[in-house]
Amino acid sequence: MNGTVYVIDGDTVIMDKTHIRLKGMDAPEMEQQCERAGRNYDCGREARNILRAKIGKSAIRCDKEGRDQYMRELSRCYLGETELNRWMVEQGWAVSYGDYQHEESNARRNRRGIWDGRFEQPSLWRKEHRNQEDDRMLHHTQQNDVIGSAIIYIREHIQALLGTIVPRN
């Protein structure tokens, strides 16, 4: 599959109305906070922004390797010769699900990305913070990509707006 994408978060993109999950890695969730130099920061948003900046408006290629429990395509995606899944782990903005252990070790050793501070593994963070409403929205997103994408877009912008009005703790 080739084309331009909309980056939802650090490990999920939409191409031609298809949700694609970058296989073999896990990036912080959009709402997830991490700590660097004693201060909290939005590491989930930062991971998304790093992936967005890397891709820009370029077309990418995604090679499908299956589906996850939410029926998203599991793929390895490439920008030219760069495998984006591997690159996100190398840069320290995602943890390995086993496929990129060497890259994760290097990122950790060199304190890149989320490894430059403290963070909770994204999978553990999801277990602690996802409520039933989030799960219903995620399921709905997979059932109807157009509406789901609109929900995600609106939710992100409302959260960004509220973040500028109400100080975050």
How many domains does the chain contain in total? 1
pLDDT of residue 154: 75
Q: What is the pTM of this model?
A: 0.77
Q: Specify the residue for token string 């929205």.
A: 137
Read off the pLDDT of residues 3-57 as tens digits, 9 standing for 90 and up. Answer: 999 999 999 999 999 999 999 999 999 999 999 999 999 999 999 999 999 999 9
Q: CATH code at 110? A: 2.40.50.90
Predicted local distance difference test score (pLDDT) of residue 35:
97
Give the Cα separation of 88 and 137 in Å (integer): 26
Domain that holds residue 45: 2-165
User: Is residue 98's pLDDT more than 90?
Assistant: no
